[in-house]
């Protein structure tokens, strides 16, 4: 693999804005990065076989779920555990053999296949050797524009798979999403596809991104009710407790069920904060509220939390040695040295060890007091529609600013706090994702009872923001979504933000500001296409951006 030990440029923090080549800024080792590349290579091989099966009407029952989980495992900050990635590749190779057998039984010709369908490894060592070979990994595609577009699609698929996996855990599936993922994976191997076809595939990825977010929205709201406007406690109580982080609501439900009546409290962290907005979770007396802030502050906050922490997904920061024994992972997440909890065949997870662990530890140390308000997902905003429309018509609200997306540790992200503070008082921020932690504790006031920061929920709830925009377009009888008084200033970090961005482009949203930096994986030519076709542009400074977006 050339002169690099690894090559990864999938997130906003990629080294020097080019790519991580020795160790990830996220903490990922070169071994894990290379194995994750090999996992993607393996998944592409399975997709080739699945496409062949589709023509003959053969469905491979395990394939779809295996693919979702594998894509999810390679998202930034989700899984740092080389053992679990090796095991996942092995499962893929076994599955591949079964698929081949089924195809051969139908006389399908499997000669002259791509290496990703053929390679094998007899041992972990052979697998590690394969993971660094030149045909595996991002740099295997030599043309930088084709590489850029293929990876843009791959990162969109990773985000889409994460959302589809959460929906799957709630027994909601959409076959069309699976079929698209297969088609797109195979397309990233197709050397006959040029830039034009890959740009079209990128937009199609956005289309299925909308589908995946709609599916998850349906899964979450049908299972747990529509989010409600909620005042969330950010203080603590005097009882031992478990902190739950990540995005998976099924894990949230199971943890609340299993802690009920045990004397152990539950607090959300980071992206799990919106769980507080769902009616189904409000009935648990031991569900106290949210502890702490954005994901990248976890080292300090886990220290003062004192109890065990359960990661259901990303974002994991490599833990300190003195609290690693308190960290548990489940689902696609993993970290070497942390205990991982697997589901049974019904998807049930046994969290009793975490509950017992919590009982032996002290209650959380208070780091904040008071509350924050959220729960402005689409149904709640529709309930307030008359008030919102009236405020726009009367001029009380001049403009909405969609500031959804992710947070990150870079100092340049102070821009978003500054931007929120300097917005005129007749504007409202619509947010979702962990980007909100840059301004959700500021006192920005309200407009006639409508808070100036409306939090729809997790990053996937950006879907809610799109639904709200489409509804406003209908109410104001506009032909173009871009004629609404809405400006987009999105912060991105990892691949779920990539699928949110592609979904917005598919919905026709133009002139999105994207920061704090444009993705390293966009080649100059691909960036030019995005600028010229969609008006995507990077942030500059708060004053100039405000002037531009308020114009
Ligand atoms: Fe954030 Fe992490 Fe939700 Fe991401 S906690 S950065 S886009 O995983 O998924 O917003
Ligand atoms: Fe670097 Fe981001 Fe890749 Fe981690 S995920 S190795 S920080 S580009």
Residue 261 · residue 239 · CB < 8 Å: no
Largest CA distance in the chain: 71
d(C-alpha 179, C-alpha 169), whole Å: 19
Cα angle value 502/508/514 (rounded, 5°): 50
Residue 20 CA to ligand 2 center (angstroms) comes to 6
Q: Is 254 in the pocket of ligand 1 (CB under 6 A)?
A: no
Pocket around ligand 2 at a 6 A CB cut-off = 8-11, 13-14, 20, 24-26, 28, 33, 76
> Is 70 exceeded by the pLDDT of residue 363?
yes
Q: Model confidence over 146-180: pLDDT tens digits?
A: 999 999 999 999 999 999 999 999 999 999 999 99
Domains of the chain: 1-140 (1.20.1270.20), 230-359 (3.40.50.2030), 378-550 (3.40.50.2030)
pLDDT, tens digit, for every residue of 426-468? 999 999 999 999 999 999 999 999 999 999 999 999 999 999 9
Please provide residue 383's backbone torsions phi and psi, each rounded to the nearest 5 degrees: -65, -25
pLDDT of residue 205: 98
| Top mutation candidate among 5, 9, 11, 410 for ligand 2, by most atoms within 8 Å of CB | 11
Per the CB < 8 A criterion, the answer to whether 330 and 249 are in contact is: no
Q: Which of 315, 316, 460, 462 to mutate to test the pocket of ligand 1 (most atoms within 8 A of CB)?
A: 315
Ligand 1 contact, 314 CB (< 6 A): yes
| Ligand 2 atom at minimum distance from 9 CA | 8
pTM: 0.98
What is the average per-residue pLDDT within 232-249? Answer: 98
Specify the 3-state DSSP secondary structure of 120.
Answer: coil
Report the SS3 class of residue 364: coil
Ligand 1 centroid from CA 432, angstroms: 10
Output the six-digit token pair for 50. 């699945």
For residue 418 the two structure tokens come to 């500054």
Q: Which atom of ligand 1 is the closest one to the Cα of 162?
A: 9
CA distance 540 to 520: 17
Mutate to test the pocket of ligand 1, among 80, 295, 404, 410 (most ligand atoms within 8 A of CB): 295
The answer to whether the beta carbons of residues 120 and 97 sit under 8 Å apart is: no
> What is the bridge-based pairing of β-strands 450-451 and 446-447?
antiparallel
pLDDT tens-place string over residues 384-416:
999 999 999 999 999 999 999 999 999 999 999
CB 103 within 8 Å of CB 46: no
Ligand with the closest atom to the CA of 413: 1
Percentage, residues of the chain above pLDDT 70: 100
For 473, residues 6+ apart whose C-beta sits below 8 A from its C-beta are 480, 481, 483, 484
Residue 335 CB less than 6 A away from ligand 1: no
CA of 459 to the centre of ligand 1 (A): 6
What mean pLDDT value characterizes the chain? 97
Quick one: pLDDT at residue 425?
A: 98
What's the pLDDT tens digit per position in 118-137? 999 999 999 999 999 999 99
Nearest C-alpha to atom 2 of ligand 2 is from which residue?
A: 11
- How far is residue 421's CA from residue 415's CA, in Å, rounded to a whole number? 10
Instruction: Say if residue 93's pLDDT is above 90.
Output: yes
Compute the average pLDDT of residues 43-66: 96
Tell whether ligand 1 has an atom less than 6 A from the beta carbon of residue 427.
no
> Residue 549 in contact with residue 537, Cβ under 8 Å?
no
Query: Using one digit for the tens of pLDDT, what is the confidence trace for 3-24?
Result: 789 999 999 999 999 999 999 9
Tell me: pLDDT of 2 over 80. Answer: no
Given a cut of 80, is residue 202 above it in pLDDT?
yes
DSSP per-residue letters across 7-21: -B--STT-GGGT-BS
Q: How far is CA 415 from each of CA 68, 322, 353, 424, 454, rounded to the nearest angstrom? A: 34, 33, 42, 16, 19
Whether 31 has a pLDDT exceeding 90, the answer reads yes
Q: Cis omega before residue 315 (within 30°)?
A: yes
- Residue 3's pLDDT is 74
Sign, Cα dihedral of 423, 427, 433, 434: positive
Tens of pLDDT along 498-536?
Answer: 999 999 999 999 999 999 999 999 999 999 999 999 999
| pLDDT at 299 exceeding the cut of 60 | yes
Q: Name the token pair of 523.
A: 């080649």
* Backbone torsions φ then ψ of 509, nearest 5 degrees: -70, 130
Q: What is the DSSP string of 426-438?
A: TEEEEE-SGGGGG
Residue 279 CA, ligand 2 centroid: distance in Å: 37
pLDDT at 1: 47
- The rounded Å distance from CA 147 to ligand 1 centre is 25
With beta carbons less than 8 A apart as the criterion, state whether 349 and 333 touch.
no
Q: 414 C-alpha vs ligand 1 centroid, how far in Å?
A: 17
Q: And the tokens for 276?
A: 């507080």
Question: Which residue in 146, 186, 228, 142 sits closest to 40, CA to CA?
Answer: 186
Please tell me the number of the ligand nearest to residue 21's CA. Answer: 2
Distances (CA, A) of 188 to 68, 201, 223, 270, 549: 17, 10, 35, 33, 36
Closest CA to 465 of 391, 351, 382, 363: 382
Give mean pLDDT, residues 25-42: 98
CB count in 10 Å sphere of residue 57: 7
Ligand nearest to the CA of 438: 1
Determine phi and psi for 202, rounding to 5 degrees: -60, -45
> Residue 482: CB partners within 8 Å, gap ≥ 6?
508, 509, 510, 511
Give the whole-angstrom CA distance, residue 241 versus residue 264: 5
């Amino acid at each position: 693999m050339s002169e690099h030990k690894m090559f990864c440029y999938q997130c906003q923090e990629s080294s020097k804005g080019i790519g991580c080549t020795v160790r990830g800024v996220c903490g990922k080792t070169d071994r894990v990065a290379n194995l994750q590349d090999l996992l993607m290579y393996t998944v592409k091989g399975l997709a080739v076989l699945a496409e062949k099966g589709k023509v003959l009407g053969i469905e491979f029952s395990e394939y779809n779920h295996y693919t979702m989980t594998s894509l999810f495992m390679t998202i930034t900050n989700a899984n740092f555990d080389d053992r679990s990635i090796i095991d996942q590749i092995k499962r893929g190779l076994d599955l591949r053999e079964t698929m081949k057998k089924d195809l051969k039984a139908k006389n399908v010709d499997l000669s002259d296949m791509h290496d990703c369908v053929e390679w094998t490894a007899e041992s972990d060592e052979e697998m590690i050797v394969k993971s660094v070979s030149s045909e595996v990994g991002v740099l295997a595609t030599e043309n930088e524009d084709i590489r850029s577009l293929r990876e843009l699609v791959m990162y969109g698929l990773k985000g889409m798979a994460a959302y589809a996996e959460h929906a799957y855990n709630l027994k909601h599936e959409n076959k069309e999403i699976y079929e698209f993922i297969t088609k797109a994976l195979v397309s990233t191997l197709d050397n006959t596809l040029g830039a034009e076809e890959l740009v079209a595939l990128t937009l199609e990825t956005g289309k299925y991104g909308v589908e995946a977010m709609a599916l998850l929205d349906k899964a979450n709201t049908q299972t747990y009710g529509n989010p409600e406007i909620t005042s969330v406690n950010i203080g603590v109580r005097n009882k031992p407790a478990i902190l739950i982080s990540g995005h998976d609501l099924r894990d949230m439900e199971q943890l609340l069920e299993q802690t009920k009546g045990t004397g152990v409290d539950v607090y959300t962290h980071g992206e799990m904060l919106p769980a507080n907005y769902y009616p189904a979770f409000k009935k648990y007396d031991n569900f106290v509220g949210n502890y702490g802030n954005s994901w990248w502050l976890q080292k300090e906050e886990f220290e003062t939390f004192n109890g065990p922490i359960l990661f259901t997904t990303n974002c994991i920061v490599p833990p300190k040695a003195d609290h690693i024994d308190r960290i548990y992972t489940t689902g696609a997440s993993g970290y070497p040295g942390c205990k991982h909890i697997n589901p049974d065949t019904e998807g049930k997870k046994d969290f009793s060890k975490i509950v017992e662990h919590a009982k032996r530890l002290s209650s959380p140390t208070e780091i904040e007091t008071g509350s924050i308000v959220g729960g402005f997902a689409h149904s709640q905003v529709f309930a307030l529609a008359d008030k919102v429309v009236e405020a726009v018509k009367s001029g009380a609200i001049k403009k909405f600013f969609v500031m959804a997306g992710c947070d990150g540790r870079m100092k340049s992200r102070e821009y978003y706090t500054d931007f929120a503070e300097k917005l005129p008082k007749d504007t409202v921020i619509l947010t979702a994702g962990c980007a909100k932690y840059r301004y959700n504790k500021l006192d920005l006031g309200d407009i006639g009872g409508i808070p100036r920061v409306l939090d729809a929920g997790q990053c996937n709830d950006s879907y809610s923001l799109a639904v709200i925009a489409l509804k406003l377009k209908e109410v104001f009888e506009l032909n173009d979504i871009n004629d609404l008084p809405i400006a987009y200033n999105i912060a991105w970090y990892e691949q779920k933000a990539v699928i949110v961005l592609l979904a917005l482009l598919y919905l026709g949203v133009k002139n999105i500001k994207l920061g704090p930096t444009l993705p390293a994986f966009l080649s100059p030519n691909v960036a030019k296409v995005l600028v010229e076709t969609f008006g995507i542009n990077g942030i500059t400074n708060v004053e100039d951006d405000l002037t531009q977006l308020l114009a």
